Amino acid sequence: MSKGYTVAIAGATGAVGADMMETLEKRNFPVRNLRLLASERSVGKKLRFKGEEIAVEELRQDSFKGIDIAIFSAGASRSKEFAKFAVKSGAVVIDNSSAFRMDDDVPLVVPEVNPEDVKRHKGIIANPNCSTIIMVVAVFPLHRAKNLRRLVAATYQAASGAGAKAMTELEEQSRKILRGECVRAEVLPQRIAFNLFPHIDVFTENGYTKEEMKMLYESRKIMHHPALKVSCTCVRVPVLRAHSEALNLEFADEITPAEAREILSRAPGVQLRDDTANKIYPMPIEASGMYDVLVGRIRQDISRDDRRGLDMFISGDQLLKGAALNAVQIAEIL
CB atoms closer than 10 angstroms to residue 53:
9
Candidates 143, 232, 234, 243; catalytic one: 243
Residue 199 annotated as catalytic:
no
Name, in order, each residue with C-beta under 8 angstroms of 267's C-beta and a sequence gap of 6 or more: 112, 137, 138, 140, 141
Collapsing DSSP to helix, strand or coil, 273 comes out as coil
DSSP letter string over 130-156?
HHHHHHHHHHHHHHHHH-EEEEEEEEE
CA distance 296 to 309: 15
**CA dihedral (232, 129, 107, 144) positive or negative:** negative
Residue 182 annotated as catalytic:
no
Candidates 130, 143, 232, 234; catalytic one: 130
Helix (H) or strand (E) holding 230: strand 229-236
Helix (H) or strand (E) holding 272: strand 270-272
HSE on the CB side for 249, CA within 13 Å? 32
Which amino acid makes up residue 210? K
**What residues act catalytically?**
130, 243
